[in-house]
A and B are shown apart, each in its own frame.
Chain A
Amino acid sequence: MGAGSGRRAARGSAGPGLTAPRCLADLIETFRAQLRDDPDVASAVVAIRVLLGFLKQDRGETIQGLRSSLLAAIDTLSRVDSSVAVSSGGELFLRFISLTSLEYSDYSKCKEIMIERGEIFLRKVSLSRNKIAKLCHPFIRDGAQILTHAYSRVVLRVLEAAVESKKRFSVYVTESQPDQAGQKMAKALRKLNIPVTVILDAAVGYIMEKVDLVLVGAEGVVESGGIINKIGTNQIAVCAKAQNKPFYVVAESFKFVRLFPLNQQDVPDKFKYKADTLKTSQNLTEEHPWIDYTSPSLITLLFTDLGVLTPSAVSDELIKLYL
């Protein structure tokens, strides 16, 4: 017995009954496989899809049992991918379960309704990117210079919609170290025939005077209306504010998360670092964080599938859901 098996025991004992370890291990495999096969889908959606599958084959008889096995499943998923998106997807799913269970007291009926609603939710959510693109592309003028950060599929979809509506514009993408996600974004944009320039992360202050608007995605949208996004976003937002350039955020509504950070330190460590780093590192303060928090005062507008929101409207949406 030691640290190793202790870890194994912890994972095993979190699940319900004898079938637990196999189920949860399958969960991780399914999650990884779905992420691989469908790189275009947001990781929160994959998480919800996987959890729905888990719900379908769950053989419990009570809501409590279901909740605890789901909590274990979400915990397992976050050990694979500890990003904000997976956490918000998981919390949304739990909320979804609670809301449905409040309406129906009979468990089997409840489960049927949950599965049905879950499918409808997944279908609606797959349309959200198109809704956002439709709302956002009118804000891109002909001849605009856009600055974006790292790789965001939603921003890509918005720019695609702008191209479809026959607008001409050019894009600056930050290289976004340490994983050079900006290069991936530039490649995808070149395929759409959009003139792209990759710039150094340090060159944002230099380029800001040439830019007409800044458009970024978000990994999570917090209660205050601020966002959690790839490291470097906060810098860009501060530069944009200093030069009076509009800073637009595009994010789907399932990324809304119940956090209220007041500064960078308030963002939980499990979001800042990758899951492997959290497990293996001795001293987290020596690791480089992957995300940062941008405060709502720096954001002009948020484009979501619930409509165009000012940052103050975001907390309203979250309250409507969670209270």
Chain B
Amino acid sequence: MPGAAERGSELSEQIEAFVARLRGGGERPRSEDTARQTLSLLRKIIAHGRWSRAGELMDLIRMEGQRMTAAQPSETTVGNMVRRVLKVIREEYGRLHGRSEESDQQESLHKLLTSGGLSEDFSTPYPPLRANVIEAINELLIELEGTTDNIAMQALEHIHSNEVIMTIGYSRTVEAFLKEAARKRKFQVIVAECAPFCQGHEMAVRLSKENIETTVMSDAAIFAVMSRVNKVIIGTKTILANGALIAVSGTHTLALAAKHHSTPLIVCAPMFKLSPQFPNEEDSFHKFVSPQEVLPFTEGEILAKINVHCPVFDYVPPELITLFISNIGGNAPSYIYRLMSELYHPDDYEL
């Protein structure tokens, strides 16, 4: 059918364009936009792809997912969305297959003792599966729309009048959080500028437009000012499976200073940033960009004699974090394992 072939080639073009955009880098994309684009792309693959059984669909999604994550490993939202979709497919299949919700698919001691035999085999074809999965993905997209608002709604519980809040860099989630609180409360914000890209400046400009008293300071002054700060509120790029963070470079320093002064560190991040990976050497979360910002090329001869690095991300261990505020509420870092088991299936942790 010419129609299907056309659709097929259009689809692969779109996937190629998406992968190229991920790999290209360039402008720093919003995590939410990346998540939405990934989901839309996956929805198109499910709608137009050639598959008849759930097993085939999962293999197809997994293959595309591997390609997309390989393009830019530091964009973990792509992998997270792929895993969410795989879980959705498993659930929908289970529902059609007639399995009860109770029989959990997770490994557990209980399952070890009571199971009768082989694991799930996704080979029975069900015609309504396509429509059901697409419907579930639409629900996911709606959930995605509301994440920033859900997080901002919780602001009044955490920010009180006359408090001094510290933040670092520019996080849109934290911006929305602080703006929502500013409607009813009066407080001060200190923004660490987050060299070398100095996104903190943009954050300060945006906050001061809402009449929030804002101060910008250099990263070196974080420890000096920390004794006057009541709370530290930050955003993050990724939340790892042990409750640790991959956040913008400079966050670890901020977290250590906060721990030293016993200042609570609150992380505002939506659930699609939760990644089932653990911090070890195999997964390279680290991203280095051009050191032009650190030491410009115009410096000349000295550049031949030294090594200059410009890492983008920092690792923050879970002991330094007090609370995670996400669209589903506030949670302690030690509870992350539970949230993960609700969002993803263990067989999908390795795409």
Contact = CB atoms under 8 A, between A and B. Distances in A.
Interface in B198-252: 241-243
A139 B112 contact: no
A321 B109 contact: yes
A239 interface: no
A316 B104 CA distance: 14
A301 B337 CA distance: 12
A76 interface: no
B242 A310 contact: yes
B334 A306 contact: no
Contact of A96 (B108, B113, B282, B335): B113
Name the residue among A125, A138, A309, A310 with the largest chain B CB count within 10 angstroms. A310
Interface of A is mostly: helix
A117 interface: yes
Contacts of B109: 92, 253-254, 256, 306, 317-318, 320-321
A313 B338 contact: yes
A196 B189 CA distance: 54
A301 B338 CA distance: 15
Contact of A310 (B281, B282, B334): B334
Interface in B9-35: none
B233 to A, nearest CB: 24
A87 to B, nearest CB: 16
B114 A117 contact: yes
Contact of A316 (B112, B113, B278, B338): B338
Contacts of A256: 109
A160 B114 CA distance: 31
Nearest to B104: A320
A308 B241 contact: yes
A252 B303 CA distance: 53
B117 interface: yes
Name the residue among B112, B278, B336, B346 with the largest chain A CB count within 10 angstroms. B112
A96 B113 CA distance: 6
A141 B281 CA distance: 6
A138 B114 CA distance: 31
A38 to B, nearest CB: 21
Contacts of A253: 109, 112
B243 A310 contact: yes
Contacts of B3: none
A305 B182 CA distance: 48
B115 interface: yes
B114 A100 contact: yes
B347 to A, nearest CB: 10
A224 B217 CA distance: 43
A168 interface: no
Nearest to A125: B112
Nearest to A312: B334
Interface string A242-258: 00000000000110100
Interface residues of A, number: 33
B107 A306 contact: yes
B300 interface: no
A120 interface: yes
A191 interface: no
Nearest to A297: B319
A142 to B, nearest CB: 8
B110 interface: yes
Contacts of B337: 309-310, 312-313, 316
Nearest to A296: B334
Contacts of A117: 113-116
A121 interface: yes
A321 B110 contact: yes
B100 interface: no
Given A301-B242, A310-B334, A99 B282 contact: no
Interface string B268-300: 000000000010111000000000000000000
Given A309-B337, A312-B335, A320-B108, A99 B113 contact: yes
Interface of A: 92, 95-96, 99-100, 116-117, 120-121, 124-125, 138-139, 141-142, 253-254, 256, 300-301, 305-310, 312-313, 316-318, 320-321
6 contacts: A92-B109, A117-B114, A138-B280, A306-B107, A318-B109, A321-B109
| Top-6 shortest CB links A-B | A321-B109, A312-B334, A138-B282, A313-B337, A141-B281, A139-B280
